[in-house]
Structure 1
Amino acid sequence: MTNPTERGRLPEHALLTHKSFIRRLTAADWLFAVAIVFIAVFSQTRIGHHMDGYEVAILWFSAASAILLGWFFKPLRWFTPLSVLLAYTAVLLYGGNINRGDGFLLKYFLSSQSAIMWQCATVFFALFCYIAGAVVAKQRHADTNTLLGMGTALAWVSALAGFTGLLVRWHESYLLRPDAGHIPVSNLYEVFILFLVITALMYLYYEKKFAVQKLGGFVFSFMAVVVVFVLWYSISRDAHAIQPLIPALQSWWMKIHVPANFIGYGAFCMAAMLGIAELWALANEAKGKKSWLPESQVIEEVMYKAIAVGFLFFTIATILGALWAADAWGRYWSWDPKETWAFIVWLNYAVWLHLRLVAGWRGKVLAWWAIVGLFITAFAFIGVNMFLSGLHSYGTL
């Protein structure tokens, strides 16, 4: 029989039984936080002579961000420490002498250039596995298989290799020029590597959250195009060589403005490829055919999430850019071609979000809009530097 007190008790609302974010953290989460704090302390004590007050602040802000991201997206709990461990192994192997780069581990695995080449190779391997896995999944009417799992694993390897390569390149810049070392986000070659890392990590997050492994072929197809450009740019222009910073970039603002910008660029480009996937899914749904892709509504939801995150970080980057301009040139905004096109990019995605959230638009129009947005973003990033001149002309091809 039911106890009278239990029979008269009202059910608790779900929000009342829901644990707070802090209470949901496990021992592994706190251990990860301790590890990141240890890494930050170690970095400050070992290389503090290269840091000014601003850079120390950026170090600890980065550490706090890494902890929050690791709590939010659990795979980053192994990704971040492993990247740092591999980079520090390279530092130990160099032993303060850039000429030791001919050693086996550095030459083939852990120097910045070898790690970045592994990143480029694994992007193609991941693309092949994602496409082959999607074909097998279509034939077997399954949502996942071994090939798709391999694609995910290789995507993680590509991001790990690229991020490790950037960290090692940062150290190499100090070995080459102790008085002119700098964070590796100062030219097209370096920021494209950063772009590949960010795009891969963002896609892997949404892949896990929405179970959309079949979309990996679309995202990594675009990343493969970027890799081809990186390889061409490296071979034809010797772009992989570490160069001293030009005076315009000798600012701590660069360390925060550029990464924020490329979270936006990565999200917008990923959204464009998802727009192509959505159009494909919509075409199959209109014909009454069972699509091998996720449902179009799911794809659009992922696209919306990506654009929302990208818009947030691009807005932050634009504000930081204005502050940098005021510090460098004495004014926040000058309608320089780069600034003008950055505003056009911002306005494009602001309208996209308005139409979806306020006007309630869905479907083909937003998918096409996201695809067109890729060309607007690409021109703002590369086209302006190629065809227009201005205060940002130092970023030319």
Structure 2
Amino acid sequence: MPINQTIARLSDLSFQSAFAVYLLALVLLIWHYAATRTEHVHRRELGDRELAAAGGVSAPSPGAPGRIVSAPPKPVSERLGNMGAAVLVVGLGLHLGSIVLRGLATGRFPLGNMYEFVTMATAAAAAAGIVFLRGQTYRPMWVFLLAPILILMFVAATLLYADAAPVVPALQSYWLPIHVTIVSIGSGIFLVSGVASLAFLLRIRQPAGAERPGPVGALARRLPDAHTLDRLAYKTVIIGFPLFGTGVILGAIWAEAAWGRFWGWDPKETMSFIAWVIYAAYLHARATTGWRDTKAAWINIAGFVAMLFNLFIVNMVVSGLHSYAGLN
């Protein structure tokens, strides 16, 4: 099928627009993140001054006769956070649109090279963030999640970019959309989990009430509490682990159909298995007394590092049967 260059260009434009919108959302959410504590301190100081001016007498109740009460305006930080959350949804729509347009332009499922895989994985991470990071409690987490998403998208659009084209014959199989989609979605969910564990390690070093925190401590104190972050990391791995494991198993079935064997210890297969074992170790550590806190979090981060190694180093440096990076 010939490539529709017009739709391919629209796909690239949609991807670039998604990047710009995510960047705008990050700016708004960083502003929200910084303004939250500033407004909290300002409100506390203003309340103290008003109480002192009134001679220590409390103000009349809102329902007192003769008093007109108007609803207080929303704090600037909350309005910024709401704007950032709305912009995120727009960015995800553009992101998903770039994937759909890429598929329409090539007449195939858009997962035939590293550029397309990273596009799908980052979209899955953004979608997982919208699902799991709902509400004011989790909103500060978006600052930490959007940063790696934007970095990966930038790398995809520069170092990994490949023109819209047909895939190699080895990938012209109905297993491509099944196997690679499941793996890419699992990878996106693991990104959320890794960020949650990293935030947990920052948060647990700066408990609530600690006096005179340093720069890292001041940053961490605006995050959700350590227990909430630990639960988020565990919840996302519980979902990503079976997805990724299913993707590996389906890949083995595809390998048997394509190469006549289920498993051949190809570098990609080996590293995928190692990453899966690390996440299994995390789940085991998370359920073991003495390993539930920092040790389990470090294992979770190690699992995501293994995923990144598998994506970039194995695909770009090590040669094997899975060398379909699509790089020139």
**Structure 1 length normalisation: TM-score?**
0.67
1:280 to 190, 195, 202: 202
Q: Is the 8 A contact 1:386 1:396 kept in 2?
A: no
Letter in 2 for 1:303: A
1:316 aligned onto 2:242: no
Letter in 2 for 1:355: A
**Equivalent residues in 2 for 1:51-200, closer than 5 Å:** 98=4, 111-141=10-40, 145-173=78-106, 181-200=107-126
Alpha-carbon RMSD across the aligned residues, in angstroms, is 2.4
1:298 Cα deviation after fit: 0.2
Q: Is the 8 A contact 1:269 1:374 kept in 2?
A: yes
What is the aligned partner in structure 2 of residue 331 from structure 1?
261
Structure 1: how far apart are the matches of 2:297 and 2:229? 10
Structure 1: how far apart are the matches of 2:77 and 2:271? 41
Note closer, same or farther for the CA distance 1:184–1:120 as it changes in structure 2 (3 Å cut). same
Structure with bigger helix share is: 1
Q: Is the 8 A contact 1:338 1:392 kept in 2?
A: yes
Letter in 1 for 2:94: A
Structure 1: how far apart are the matches of 2:4 and 2:272? 38
Q: Is the 8 A contact 2:31 2:77 kept in 1?
A: no
1:369 Cα deviation after fit: 2.2
Note closer, same or farther for the CA distance 1:395–1:367 as it changes in structure 2 (3 Å cut). same
1:395 aligned onto 2:325: yes
Give the 3-state SS of the residue equivalent to 2:189 in structure 1.
helix
Give the 3-state SS of the residue equivalent to 1:208 in structure 2.
coil
Note closer, same or farther for the CA distance 1:368–1:165 as it changes in structure 2 (3 Å cut). same
1:228 aligned onto 2:191: no
Among all aligned residue pairs of Structure 1 and Structure 2, give the percentage whose two residues are the same amino acid: 30
**Equivalent residues in 2 for 1:180-259, closer than 5 Å:** 181-208=107-134, 211-233=137-159, 239-259=161-181
Give the 3-state SS of the residue equivalent to 1:191 in structure 2.
helix
What is the aligned partner in structure 1 of residue 59 from structure 2?
none
Structure 2: how far apart are the matches of 1:339 and 1:206? 30
1:346 Cα deviation after fit: 0.3
Structure 2: how far apart are the matches of 1:260 and 1:97? 26
Q: After the TM superposition, which of the residue ranges 326-335 and 164-173 deviates more from structure 2?
A: 164-173
1:139 Cα deviation after fit: 1.6
Structure 2: how far apart are the matches of 1:204 and 1:253? 28
Q: Is the 8 A contact 1:210 1:302 kept in 2?
A: no
Q: Is the 8 A contact 2:120 2:185 kept in 1?
A: no
1:305 aligned onto 2:204: no
1:349 aligned onto 2:279: yes
Note closer, same or farther for the CA distance 1:381–1:240 as it changes in structure 2 (3 Å cut). closer
1:295 to 222, 225, 236: 225
Structure 1: how far apart are the matches of 2:276 and 2:136? 26
Deviations for 1:5-48, whole angstroms, at most 9, x for unmatched residues? Answer: xxxxxxxxxxxxxxxxxxxxxxxxxxxxxxxxxxxxxxxxxxxx
**Equivalent residues in 2 for 1:362-373, closer than 5 Å:** 362-373=292-303
Give the 3-state SS of the residue equivalent to 2:156 in structure 1.
helix
1:355 Cα deviation after fit: 1.1
Question: Structure 1, unaligned stretches of length 5 or more?
Answer: 1-49, 51-95, 174-180
1:333 Cα deviation after fit: 0.6
Letter in 2 for 1:279: L
Deviations for 1:36-78, whole angstroms, at most 9, x for unmatched residues? Answer: xxxxxxxxxxxxxx9xxxxxxxxxxxxxxxxxxxxxxxxxxxx
1:371 Cα deviation after fit: 2.2
**Equivalent residues in 2 for 1:19-38, closer than 5 Å:** none
Q: After the TM superposition, which of the residue ranges 246-255 and 280-289 deviates more from structure 2?
A: 280-289
1:293 Cα deviation after fit: 1.2
Give the 3-state SS of the residue equivalent to 1:285 in structure 2.
coil
Q: Is the 8 A contact 1:116 1:161 kept in 2?
A: yes
Letter in 2 for 1:335: W
How many equivalent residue pairs? 285
Structure 2: how far apart are the matches of 1:195 and 1:356? 25
1:163 Cα deviation after fit: 0.8
Structure 2: how far apart are the matches of 1:230 and 1:97? 21
Q: Is the 8 A contact 2:267 2:314 kept in 1?
A: yes
1:210 Cα deviation after fit: 8.1
1:98 Cα deviation after fit: 4.0
Give the 3-state SS of the residue equivalent to 1:390 in structure 2.
coil
Q: After the TM superposition, which of the residue ranges 222-231 and 328-337 deviates more from structure 2?
A: 222-231
